[in-house]
Structure 1
Amino acid sequence: MAEIINLRAARKAKARGEKEAKAEENRILFGRPKKAKTLAERKKAIEVSRHEGHKLVGRDEEG
């Protein structure tokens, strides 16, 4: 004979599992310490300034 289950409880358990999976993804994406975030921002700023510094300005404007 089959086991009787409560569908409401099963739905709630499934929703809890999905919610926990989403929370784990968010912990990975947004759970960096402040020091790591500022370090990444600094590296990005240096990279952008180096890239901007290598642009050739004025060559197209002279015609």
Structure 2
Amino acid sequence: MAEIVNLRQARKQKARDEKLRVAEQNRALHGRSKAERQRDRLIADKAEKFVASHRLDPSGKDEQ
């Protein structure tokens, strides 16, 4: 004999499963810890300072 399924509960469970799937994708795409974000920001700042300190014109503007 077939199993009786409550369609309302099945629909809600399907919606929950979809939310979990989307959340998993978002964690994979956007999930970084605070320490990782800070590390990347420090690396970018250090690189910018290095480039800025090696410019011929420290102001960054061409004087004519």
Q: TM-score, normalised by structure 2?
A: 0.55
Residue 39 in structure 1 maps to residue 39 in structure 2: yes
SS in 1 for 2:62: helix
The equivalent residue for 2:19 is 19
Structure 1 unaligned spans of 5+: none
**Higher normalized helix content (fraction of residues):** 1
The percent of aligned pairs where both chains have the same amino acid is: 40
The equivalent residue for 2:31 is 30
What's the RMSD between the two structures over aligned residues? Answer: 3.0
SS in 2 for 1:61: coil
Structure 2 unaligned spans of 5+: none
* More contact order relative to length (CA 8 Å, sep ≥ 6): 2
Residue 52 in structure 1 maps to residue 56 in structure 2: no
Number of residue pairs matched by the alignment: 60
Deviation at 1:10, TM superposition (A): 2.1
Amino acid at match of 1:18: E
Distance 1:10 1:56 in 2: 68
